[in-house]
């Protein structure tokens, strides 16, 4: 049985969020703890992305509290790529590094880029990239802050099987080196390979919050959990 790590990085209590008069999140509470990879599951419109945007300060909360440990460094990879399309990958890296107020550690960047399979693309203009290559560059940019917590919204969208495997292995390697992760994905198979803990959301409410090992003791896989709790209709 997996042992839940007790050190809390973020505590979310009674979080609600309204957008244009519609209540997207409804009084949810959970913790993000050091060393875990936490997966947010749920159908379209469940509130997964809204949770991530509240955590990272992109959205203000309507009510409730989000408490973070002191000096916590968070980096976010949004669902949509925010890149300077007319510049090369290396130029995007330089711009992001300057915005963060730190120099480019080229050796580290090259290692990550090699693992993601985009090192040879970094000298090319971003507008020539495929969707998958843009996702990989966005992931690379998220690592420039050397974050304690990586917040990843659909990080593998548009990736082919080899690229998904490369990104998954890099995420697991970063986790082994001490980084915590919270991510969303509609690819339940990938989440099953990555996550220590699973939070299942529907209509802005948490229906399941448990360790993956406990869930897989009751269900064949995460798809079976999803269909049982959410419904297959």
Any idea what the CATH number is for the domain that residue 192 is in? 3.40.50.300
Q: Quick one: average pLDDT of 91-107? A: 83
Report if residue 193 sits inside a domain: yes
Report if residue 174 sits inside a domain: no
- Asked if residue 148 has pLDDT above 90, the reply is yes
Tokens of 22: 């519609």
Q: Which helix (H) or strand (E) holds 68?
A: strand 63-68
Report if residue 49 sits inside a domain: yes
Distance of alpha carbon 87 from alpha carbon 89, whole angstroms: 7
Q: Residue 120: how many CB atoms within 10 A of its CB?
A: 10
In whole numbers, what is the pLDDT of the chain averaged over residues?
92
Report if residue 149 sits inside a domain: no
Which tens digits make up the pLDDT trace of 152-162? Answer: 999 999 999 99
Q: How many CA atoms lie within 13 A of 150 on its CB side?
A: 30
- Asked if residue 179 has pLDDT above 60, the reply is yes
**Range(s) of the domain holding residue 20:** 1-73+181-233
pLDDT of res. 231: 82
Which residue intervals of 101-221 are DSSP H helices? Answer: 106-116, 131-142, 161-176, 188-194, 212-215
Report if residue 131 sits inside a domain: no
Query: What pTM value is reported for the model?
Result: 0.92
Report if residue 33 sits inside a domain: yes
Which tens digits make up the pLDDT trace of 122-134? Answer: 999 999 999 999 9
Is residue 88 within 8 A of residue 126, CB to CB? The reply is: yes
> pLDDT band at 103, cuts 50/70/90?
low
Number of domains in the chain: 1
Report if residue 123 sits inside a domain: no
Report if residue 80 sits inside a domain: no
Tokens 């896989």 — which residue? 221
Which tens digits make up the pLDDT trace of 17-33? Answer: 999 999 999 999 999 99
């Amino acid at each position: 049985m997996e042992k839940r790590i007790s050190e809390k990085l973020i505590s979310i209590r009674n979080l609600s969020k309204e957008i244009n008069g519609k209540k997207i999140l409804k009084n949810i509470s959970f913790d993000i703890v050091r060393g875990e990879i936490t997966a947010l599951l749920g159908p379209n419109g469940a509130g997964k992305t809204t949770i991530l945007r509240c955590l990272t300060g992109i959205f203000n909360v309507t009510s409730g509290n989000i408490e973070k440990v002191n000096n916590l460094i968070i980096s976010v990879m949004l669902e949509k790529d925010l890149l300077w399309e007319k510049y090369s990958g290396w130029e995007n890296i330089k711009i992001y590094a300057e915005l963060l107020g730190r120099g480019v550690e080229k050796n580290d960047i090259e290692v990550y880029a090699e693992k993601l399979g985009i090192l040879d693309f970094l000298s090319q203009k971003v507008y020539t990239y495929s969707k998958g290559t843009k996702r990989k560059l966005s992931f690379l940019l998220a690592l420039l802050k050397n974050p304690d917590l990586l917040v990843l919204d659909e990080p593998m969208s548009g990736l082919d099987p080899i690229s998904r495997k490369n990104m998954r292995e890099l995420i697991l390697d970063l986790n082994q080196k001490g980084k915590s992760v919270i991510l969303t994905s509609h690819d339940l198979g990938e989440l099953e390979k990555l996550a220590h803990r699973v939070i299942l959301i529907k209509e802005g409410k948490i229906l399941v919050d448990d360790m993956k090992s406990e869930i897989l003791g009751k269900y064949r896989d995460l798809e079976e959990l999803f269909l049982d709790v959410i419904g297959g209709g």
